[in-house]
Amino acid sequence: MNLTRRGFLRSAVGASAVAVAGCADPRAVLILNEVNDTQLADRVAEEVEGTDDEEVVRRAVENRSYTTEGDESGLEPPVEAGSVLYEGAYYDLSVEARTVSEDRLYVLRVENVGSSSVDGEMAYDELPEADRRALMEVFGDENATDEGFEGGTEFPYGEGEYGASVLIDGATVVHEGLRYEVDAERRRGIERQEFTYTADEVAEDAEGFGAWARDEYSFTLDGLSDEERAIVDDALDGGYYEGSASEGFESLVRRFREHEAVTKDEWGGEWVVEYEGTTYRAEMSYTPNVVEDGG
C-alpha cells in the first residue's frame, strides 16, 4: 500500500530465492501459494493503523474524500492506492491526481568568496522566502564558513516563486558576515500534483474481504504449453527460480500482466490466480527487459 511495498516484494522474492535455490541473483521467479479467503485478506490488504499512511486513510474514511499535496518531491502520492484494513473494516483506497502548479527545478551552485563587501550584494534575510529556503541546506553544511567552500543544491521554485527570485539570475548573498556567490541553472519543469483520496468500504471482516479480493483480482490460469506447465509445477513445489527468463517464463509474464495485479511494476508483482480449481497467491519477479520486450 505504501510506496515501499513493491520494494519489499522484490526483496522478499529475492530472499526466498537465495534460501531455497542457493541462487545469488535469480532473474526469473514464480512462487504459488494456496490461499483461502482469510489468508488472501491478510496478504492483499495492508493494515495502516500505527503507520505513516494512517492519517491519509483516516481522513478519507471519515470525510468520504481527502485532498493533499504529494510526497516530498511533490510528484508522487504520499500513499499508494490499494486495499487497506482500518479499524477492523476493509477499504478500497483510490487516488486521483491533479496538476496544481508548473514549478521549475533549478540547480544552485554556491561559493564562499570571503568577507569583503561586493557591489550589489544582498543580505540573506532580505531574500524572498523561496530563495532563503533554497539556501538553507547549503548554509547548514559544516564547511560552509570556510573561504573557498563550494556547495550546491537542487530546489523546485513554485509557479509564484521563480518570478520573484533573486538567485535565479545570479547573486552575491551575505550570510553571517560572509559573502557567497550563487549561480543558478534551470534543469526542467515540474508539474506539481495534488491528490484526492476516496475510501470505499468493501467488507467488514477478513473472510468477506478475501471473497471480494478474489472476485476483483483472480483470473484462471489454463491452456498452458508444456514448458509453461513445468514452470507452474515448480512454482507450486517450493518455487521456480532461474538465472534468466526462458521463452516459457516470458510467456507467463505476458499472461499475468494482462490481468489486474494486487501490485506490480517493471520488476515483478503479485497476482491472484485460479489454477485447476484452487486459488493461489502468485509472486513473480523478472527483469525490466522482459516487460520492454512485450511481457
Taking the C-alpha atoms of residue 131 and residue 266, their distance in angstroms, rounded to an integer, is 38
Q: Could you report the per-residue pLDDT of 107-150, keeping only the tens digit for each?
A: 999 999 999 988 999 999 999 999 999 999 999 999 999 999 99
Q: Using the predicted structure, report yes or no on whether residue 180 has a pLDDT greater than 90.
A: yes
Among the residue ranges 62-71, 121-130, 229-238, the one predicted with the least confidence is: 62-71
Taking the C-alpha atoms of residue 272 and residue 249, their distance in angstroms, rounded to an integer, is 17
What the block records as the C-alpha cell of 187 is: 534543469
Neighbours of 192 (CB within 10 A): 17
Q: Using the predicted structure, report yes or no on whether residue 2 has a pLDDT greater than 70.
A: no
- Residue 42 identity (one-letter amino acid): D
Mean pLDDT of the chain: 88
Domain boundaries, the chain: 1-47+204-295, 102-190
pLDDT given at position 48: 94
Taking the C-alpha atoms of residue 78 and residue 74, their distance in angstroms, rounded to an integer, is 9
Q: Using the predicted structure, report yes or no on whether residue 11 has a pLDDT greater than 50.
A: no
Q: Using the predicted structure, report yes or no on whether residue 257 has a pLDDT greater than 70.
A: yes
Residue 269 burial (C-beta neighbours within 10 Å; 0-12, 13-18, 19+): buried
**CA 63, chain centre distance (Å):** 25
More reliable by pLDDT, 191 or 251: 251
pTM (2 decimals)? 0.67
Q: Using the predicted structure, report yes or no on whether residue 106 has a pLDDT greater than 70.
A: yes
Query: Which H or E run includes 182?
Result: strand 178-203
Taking the C-alpha atoms of residue 234 and residue 211, their distance in angstroms, rounded to an integer, is 27
- For residues 95 and 196, the answer to whether their CB atoms sit within 8 Å is yes
Q: Using the predicted structure, report yes or no on whether residue 19 has a pLDDT greater than 60.
A: no
Strand pairing class (89-114; 178-203): antiparallel
What value does the mean pLDDT take over residues 223-238? 97
